[in-house]
Structure 1
Amino acid sequence: MTISTSTEIAGVRFKNPFIMASGTFGFGKEYARFYDLSLLGGISSKGLTLHPKAGNKGNRVYETAAGMMNSVGLENPGVEAFLDGELDRMTSWDTAILLNLGGGSVEDYREAAERIEADRLARIRDNRRGADMIELNISCPNVKEGGIAFGIDTGEARKVVRAVRAVTRMPLAVKLSPGAKDIAEMAAMCEGEGADAVSLVNTFTAMKIDIRKRKSVFANGYAGLSGPAIKPIALRLVHQAAKAVKIPVIGMGGISSAEDAVEFIMAGAHAVQVGTYNFVNLRAGAELERDLRAFMEAEGISSLDEIRGIV
């Protein structure tokens, strides 16, 4: 039996459904020491912003009983430095590249997207490969609107999606927050505003208190929870989003086995992202693809299309 693990999203081909999630894989070079990254379906870059960010002070990560918490604060070199320095290395690997984009205001998102679009056009002229897709992270605080997260309110999120869609022709996936008031409504809005896909979920807001110091472990008080602890909830949200839209859904949240990935695909996902598990298993991407093939062979599944959205 011939087995195909490939999938396609907005004209971008992924040789398998495994995309390494933003913030857990850097720009890939650290993991390239452990296995051939061309085995991956794709890589979502570390979150980028218009200007460089130093990130949060104090503790940035904390291990939990079934995952981890992080408060990194989008430390990154900025869009321009990434386009000029890191992107060529990432595109040297035979895998799809998603450029994860965050921002603190609609204007920041728009200007960063304009620079990304200009880079895309320049690379086309020079016959150089560029990023394959933008993954628009709308879980960032809206600084100009009193700290409201774009990803929570559909009206606020609409402003960002519309602004970015207006200035770039790149395939656009919108990364949704689990804190959205109505995940189905949010996904449908993204589709209506021209998004080519949605990805979900981002981390859940959580807290850890140091009972001896009598204060939060994190300088900002709260942090993002990821890992196996969130998987059942993430799976439910992916299922709800997939039922609400016709565009592809990229599922994520606690995936640490091929079986986990299959659950998300059965819930309607076209592809999945692997995050926290990369810290547990430095060769996660290569092993998950191998295990998925073994599962499909054992179950007599020749293509992911046979099981996608069957639940």
Structure 2
Amino acid sequence: MSDVLAGLRLAHPVMVASGCGGTGRELAPYVDLDGLAFVTRTLTREPHPGSAMPRVLESPSGLLHAVGLHNPGIEVFLSDELPWLVRAGARVLVSFCATSLGEYAELTRLLAGAPGLGGVEVNLASPDADAVGAFDAREPFHAASAVAAVRRELPADLALLVKVRPDPVRVVETARAVRDAGAGAVVVGGALAAAMPDGRPAGLSGPAIRPVTLAATRAVRRAAPEVPVVACGGVTAPEHVRAYLDAGAVAVQVGTGLLHDPTLITRLAHDLEETP
């Protein structure tokens, strides 16, 4: 099985969601990275220490997380982490966010010439965005402005994915706006806004958000069929992958499920190969 997403050829339509594959080294003992679409944790221009502990808690509804975009910064990633992922054969998509339109352009220029890079995922859906003073992209026209700043600097042969919130009210409008601004595909899903027990802002991921993401995926495909959709939210079994694909998604991203079972992607991809 081989699939093409926004110009990027993949071994199969099951991807590693941002933040859930570590640097790749942690996942490699359990998954063959060769040909696998691997979305990095969300990177920022400068290193960021992240939020106070605890950062991750299990709840009956899923996984609560307040990581605060902990990352080493774009330059450390390019010198240390990206070369290793490329040698492992991964199709690397760098997730990133920025504080301004100018910084989106700057980060894209730094990434544009990176050897082996497959593309980028502009993260406009992070519940941690306020922790680094990220550009506010809640309005569709703001989201489009960020994507346009990236598109102007990104070589045409690199995939441009844009991650948007699964907001049932605004998701179609936002998907159309970022597509018109140059996105090759829209990633629908990611964490819902939540709170840690001590009141700190957090995100909720896992099975609880699957019905929300499924509804948002269907909404985009029905209203804007020209927009390729990648669904992300609560995938833990083959039937979840098939449900998203049946709803019109061209690929799915697996996140929280990998924290419970790092072999999950291998099993999901095998099931797709076996299913007529």
Give the TM-score of the pair, scaled to structure 2.
0.91
**Letter of the aligned partner of 1:155 in structure 2?**
F
> TM-score when scaled to structure 1?
0.82
Verify: 1:207 aligned to 2:207, yes or no.
Answer: no
For residues 188 and 204 of structure 1, the distance between their equivalents in structure 2, rounded to whole angstroms, comes to 21
Q: 2:209 is matched by which residue type in structure 1?
A: I
Please tell me whether the aligned partners of residues 50 and 109 of structure 1 are also in contact (alpha carbons under 8 angstroms): no
* Contact 2:97 2:134 (C-alpha < 8 Å) held by counterparts: no
Aligned 1:63-78 pairs, distance under 5 A: 63-78=58-73
- Structure 2 counterpart of 1:50, one-letter code: R
Q: CA deviation at 1:106?
A: 1.9
SS class of match (1:100):
strand
1:50, 1:78 within 8 Å by CA — same for their partners in 2? yes
1: CA distance, partners of 2:270 / 2:7: 25
Q: Percent identity?
A: 31
Cα RMSD between the aligned structures? 2.0
Residue 247 (structure 1) aligned with residue 227 (structure 2): yes
Q: CA 1:258–1:143 in structure 2 vs 1: closer, same or farther (change >3 Å)?
A: closer
Aligned to 1:101: 96
- Count of residue correspondences: 271
Match of 1:227 in 2: 206
1:35 to 1:165, Cα distance in 2 relative to 1, 3 A: closer
Q: Does 1:264 align with 2:252?
A: no
Q: Which has the larger radius of gyration?
A: 1
Residue 193 in structure 1 maps to residue 172 in structure 2: no
| Alignment of structure 1 residues 103-142 onto 2, 5 Å | 103-117=98-112, 119-120=113-114, 123=115, 130-140=116-126, 141=129
Distance (Å, rounded) in 2 between the aligned partners of 1:111 and 1:180: 32
SS in 1 for 2:213: helix
Q: Is the 8 A contact 1:188 1:245 kept in 2?
A: no
Aligned partners of 2:121 and 2:162 also within 8 Å: yes
**AA matched with 1:48:** L
Secondary structure of the structure 2 residue equivalent to 1:225: strand
Kindly indicate whether residue 145 of structure 2 is the aligned counterpart of residue 159 of structure 1.
Answer: yes
Q: 1:34 to 1:148 in 2, by over 3 A?
A: closer
Any gaps of 5 or more consecutive residues in structure 1? 124-129, 210-214, 302-311
Alignment match, 1:29 = 25
The 1-side partners of 2:233 and 2:204 are apart by: 10
Deviations 1:61-98 (A, max 9, x none): 11011420111011111111111111111112233211
